[in-house]
Amino acid sequence: MNKQFGWWFFTCGNQILVIPQGERIPYGDVEDLPLPDLDFSKVERFSHYQGEACLRLELAEPIDLGMGEWIELRASMAVLNSQLFDLVGKAQQFALFLKTHRFCGSCGEALERVDWELAMQCQQCGFRAYPRISPSIIVLISHGNKVLLANHRRHQKQEQPIYTAIAGFVEAGETLEHTVHREVREETGLRIKNLRYWKSQPWAFPHSLMAAYFAEYDEGEIQIDRRELADAQWFDVSQLPHLPPPGTIAREMIDHWSEQVTHN
């Protein structure tokens, strides 16, 4: 097993190197890549893609590697296929995990890397730490030909405010369904019915796993939580506002819903 052959995820903080050709991630033997002298002892093998290893090397500076360009990790969503983008997320989460789990949270000893799974182990007390994953939900609420979309306070200042589905983190002890009903009630004051699970998406900024649901309006008037939202409205399928970019699960849900409504 050659540790230096595979898909190369060169990262630097929140940036990644992409090349103009092929799958956009450098591929091959380290000897054959036109790279300057780098410290390859720090290469981390974190996954597989098309049967070959995914290798990550974090650089201190976004230096010229003689190929490709550095782009923001999030922006790589528009450039990479969804499988590779998920791998970028995995690399990022793994890097964050290693950086924040150097010592045992139980006895304080230095942790050591487990070689057969993504974990860190304490040789002193046996404690084992895994990358943190925070479950969250996102729900698209419809009412006939209308859909409820909200403008979050953090998107408020943008020139064209983005309107998206309702989302939130799962609290300890909750089921996913409970979270959906609670978030909708807290953020919009509405009650919903006919909750349907659709699919999930890992989102590595920083470490969530989103479960996506469709739901229908049941009762209530919109009363937004001003700490979270700047606005929430019912939008007709023919007059949708500025939406989240393609590739996000929110956009996928809105597109899926509007296609169904338009063709019925």
In the complex, the residues that contact Zn ion under the rule CB under 5 A are 104, 106-107, 109, 122, 124-125, 127
What 3-state class would DSSP assign to 83? Answer: helix
Give 172: exposed, middle or buried? Use CB within 10 Å, 0-12, 13-18, 19+: exposed
> Residue 215 belongs to what H/E stretch?
strand 208-219
Q: Of 18 and 122, which CB lies nearer to Zn ion in the complex structure?
A: 122
**Shortest approach of Zn ion to residue 101 CB, angstroms?**
12
Report the C-alpha gap between 137 and 182 in whole angstroms. 11
Q: Which is nearer to Zn ion, 63 or 107 (CB)?
A: 107
In the complex with Zn ion, the residue whose CB is nearer, 25 or 111, is 111
Minimum gap (Å) between residue 172 Cβ and Zn ion: 24
The least CB distance from residue 113 to Zn ion, in Å, is 15
Cβ proximity to Zn ion: between 101 and 185 the closer is: 101
Radius of gyration of the chain (CA): 22
Nearer to Zn ion, 126 or 245 (CB): 126
Which residue reads 């994953």 in tokens? 133
Q: Minimum distance between the CB of residue 209 and Zn ion, rounded to whole angstroms?
A: 27
To the nearest whole angstrom, how small is the minimum distance from the Cβ of residue 114 to Zn ion? Answer: 14
Handedness of CA 218, 221, 223, 229 (dihedral sign): positive
Distance between CA 20 and CA 46 in Å, rounded?
Answer: 23
Residue 248 CB contacts under 8 Å (≥ 6 apart), including other chains: 77
